[in-house]
Amino acid sequence: MWLAFKALSWQIKAGILIGILAILVAITGTAYYTGYSKGENISRLEISKYEGKVKDLTAERDKAQAKVDVKEVVKYKDRVQYIDRVVYKTKTVVETSVPEQFKFSKGWVYAYNQSVAGNELESSKASDASESRVSDRSALVTITENNGICLSNKAQLDALQSWIRETEKVRVEVTK
């Protein structure tokens, strides 16, 4: 066989070699493409499986989060309504039952108003001893209203902190 191959012209030998190389390239390409396609299909299948898991976990998390949201908002609104009722009743009792005994000084009223606003006091204004129009009862009504605002803010912060804790629990449970 080798002798027969040796007897052929170099153009025929080159053609045979090119044909063999083409066949080898075709076989290698086909094997590679088949393996690549199979790997690509497996990859797509795995990706779609994980996408499905993500969708399921997201739906589960959203459902649990909705329960937390509703629970915390209802709790917060109930607490604020309770505070509003108590403040209203307290204010009414103060206005109708607490005896008015004296008027505060203008310095006291100034100091109170500045402290509520978070401002610094001027000693000359704070030391004004002249009588103001503000009675002890009207000051107590104002303090009652301010306390109600503070209690509402506290309820809102408590609800926000509770919502954050519950949201974290939901996140941890869903991602286990």
Q: Determine whether 140 is exposed, middle or buried from the number of CB atoms within 10 Å of its CB (0-12, 13-18, 19+).
A: middle
Q: Strand ranges (DSSP E) for 74-156?
A: 103-105, 131-135
Question: In whole angstroms, what is the distance from residue 48 CA to residue 56 CA?
Answer: 12
Nearest to 139 by CA among 107, 100, 83: 100
Poorest-confidence range of 14-23, 85-94, 115-124, 126-135? 14-23
| pLDDT tens digits along 102-144 | 999 999 999 999 998 999 999 999 999 999 999 999 999 999 9
| pLDDT tens digits along 26-80 | 777 777 777 777 777 788 888 889 898 889 888 888 888 888 888 888 888 898 9
Residue 155, C-beta contacts closer than 8 angstroms, at least 6 positions apart: 76, 79, 80, 83
Question: In whole angstroms, what is the distance from residue 148 CA to residue 135 CA?
Answer: 20
